[in-house]
Amino acid sequence: MKTRPSAHRAKSPRTAVKSTAARRTTQQSSRSGKYAAIRRDLQQQRRAILEEAGEGLTNQKGQETFPDVSDQASAEADQNFSMRIRERERRLLKKIDEALDRMDKNLYGICERCEEEIPFPRLKARPVTTLCINCKTLQEQEEKIRR
Ligand SMILES: [Zn+2]
């Protein structure tokens, strides 16, 4: 009588296949993976803005008629305020979309003025930026002179 190796002990081939697959995934994502966390942040911010915009529209419908004049006035003030907010959000939304677009084209994180790579901490702090800190400072100085 001879003992044969137990069938459920031969697991090593499957483990080998799995680790190869895992390695391939890491390789594929390593190029875009550099900004994966920032991309997630941007997408989250984008969703939040859109959700809030949706809520704003619902509120607006309830503000159509006011029997009291002072209520009407404050409602208009509220509306002006929310319109200003919306304008700012719309602009931010555009910047977020552009940043995500640059990620897709592998252009993200490159200063559009000097074409140097923007340092990661700056991108993390201000993900929608298209300028490195030097060029941003220069641009701000130029704007001051123009005014
Ligand atoms: Zn620059």
pLDDT of residue 5: 55
Backbone φ and ψ for 112, nearest 5 degrees, come out as: -80, -5
CA of 117 to the centre of ligand 1 (A): 8
22-51: average pLDDT: 74
- What is the mean predicted confidence (pLDDT) over 99-127? 96
For residue 43, how far is its CA from the centre of ligand 1 (angstroms)? 25
Give pLDDT tens digits for 57-77: 655 555 555 566 677 788 888
Please tell me which residue, 66 or 22, carries the higher pLDDT value.
Answer: 66
**Residue 16 in this model has a pLDDT that exceeds 50:** no
Would you say residue 89 has pLDDT above 70?
Answer: yes
Binned at pLDDT 50, 70 and 90, residue 3 comes out as: low
Distance 113 CA to ligand 1 centre (A): 5
What's the mean per-residue pLDDT of the chain?
A: 78
pLDDT, residue 100, reads 97
CA 78 to ligand 1 center in whole angstroms: 40
Work out the average pLDDT over 73-95.
Answer: 85
Distance 90 CA to ligand 1 centre (A): 26
Res 30: pLDDT: 44
Per-domain residue ranges of the chain: 14-60+67-105, 109-147
- Give the model's pLDDT for residue 12: 47
146: CA distance to ligand 1 center in Å?
20
Output the CA 52–ligand 1 centroid distance in Å.
34
Which of 131 and 74 is assigned the larger pLDDT? 131
In this predicted structure, the answer to whether residue 91 has a pLDDT above a threshold of 70 is yes
Phi, psi of 108 (to 5 degrees): -65, 140
